[in-house]
């Protein structure tokens, strides 16, 4: 994949939406002004080529690392926020080629240029790895007590949309490790994780809320019970 060409092409599509998009994220990052559809249309042929190369390479040697982490890092180093989105889009497309040790690459991305947009875009990649490599549960538990709030957030919500496959013991552990937090993004994550699982097992979530109602933040309870008749 021609990383330099992709970067040049994206920079050639700047729009007047850049300022408003930056303001939406509290002016923490500059933008090109590319909406998601435009960004993905530009990247689509590059990703198609990358997947073709990956399929060919995996047939020759299935154990060979496939993910182009140099490309991901190059995107992450670019100033404009859309490049971080391109990197997360690429990892989404290439998810099935992720290997156990790639959890360390994901950790670096989560803790670099961190905000909810980039972090949440990586959540399901972490969840995928945890289901493929159950031993990574210990890593998730370590993240749930990290000094880095974004690692803790990912630990709490990495099982989103897993439905019946949700590991309730792991969900409980990651939430319990964060009770008493004053961090908005942590308490929001707790509520989000519980609300998501309530779609599959409402009674379990009700019982959890009753059991820990004095320890859960009001924000977590509000988020968790949005679609629950308590």
CA 167 → CA 91, 139, 140, 157, 159, distances in Å?
24, 15, 12, 12, 8
DSSP-derived 3-state class of residue 212:
coil
DSSP 60-81: H-TTS--S-HHHHHHHHHSSSH
DSSP-derived 3-state class of residue 98:
coil
Question: From CA 95, how far away is CA 74, in angstroms rounded?
Answer: 19
Question: How many other CB atoms sit within 10 Å of the CB of residue 82?
Answer: 28
pLDDT per residue as tens, the chain (230 positions): 889 999 999 999 999 999 999 999 999 999 999 999 999 999 999 999 998 988 888 877 877 889 999 999 999 999 999 999 999 999 999 999 999 999 999 999 999 999 999 999 999 999 999 999 999 999 999 999 999 999 999 999 999 999 999 999 999 999 999 999 999 999 999 999 999 999 999 999 999 999 999 999 999 999 999 988 76
Residue 91's nearest CA partner among 120, 75, 67, 59 is 67
Question: From CA 148, how far away is CA 133, in angstroms rounded?
Answer: 23
106, 35 contact by CB (below 8 A): no
Residue 140's nearest CA partner among 148, 130, 131, 150 is 130
């Amino acid at each position: 994949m021609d990383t330099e060409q992709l970067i040049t092409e994206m920079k050639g599509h700047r729009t007047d939406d850049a300022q408003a998009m930056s303001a939406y994220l509290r002016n923490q990052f500059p933008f090109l002004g590319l909406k998601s559809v435009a960004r993905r249309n530009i990247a689509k042929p590059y990703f198609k080529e990358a997947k073709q190369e990956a399929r060919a390479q995996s047939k020759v040697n299935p154990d060979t690392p496939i993910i182009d982490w140099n490309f991901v890092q190059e995107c992450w180093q670019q100033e404009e926020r859309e490049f971080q989105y391109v990197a997360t889009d690429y990892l989404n497309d290439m998810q099935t080629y992720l290997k156990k040790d790639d959890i360390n690459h994901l950790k670096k991305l989560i803790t670099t240029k961190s905000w909810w947009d980039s972090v949440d875009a990586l959540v399901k990649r972490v969840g995928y790895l945890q289901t493929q490599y159950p031993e990574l549960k210990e890593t998730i538990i370590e993240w749930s007590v990290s000094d880095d709030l974004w690692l803790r957030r990912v630990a709490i919500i990495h099982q989103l949309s897993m439905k019946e496959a949700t590991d309730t013991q792991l969900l409980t552990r990651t939430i319990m490790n964060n009770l008493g937090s004053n961090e908005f993004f942590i308490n929001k994550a707790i509520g989000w994780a519980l609300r998501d699982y309530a779609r599959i097992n409402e009674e379990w979530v009700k019982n959890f809320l009753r059991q820990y109602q004095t320890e859960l933040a009001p924000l977590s309870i509000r988020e968790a019970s949005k679609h629950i008749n308590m």
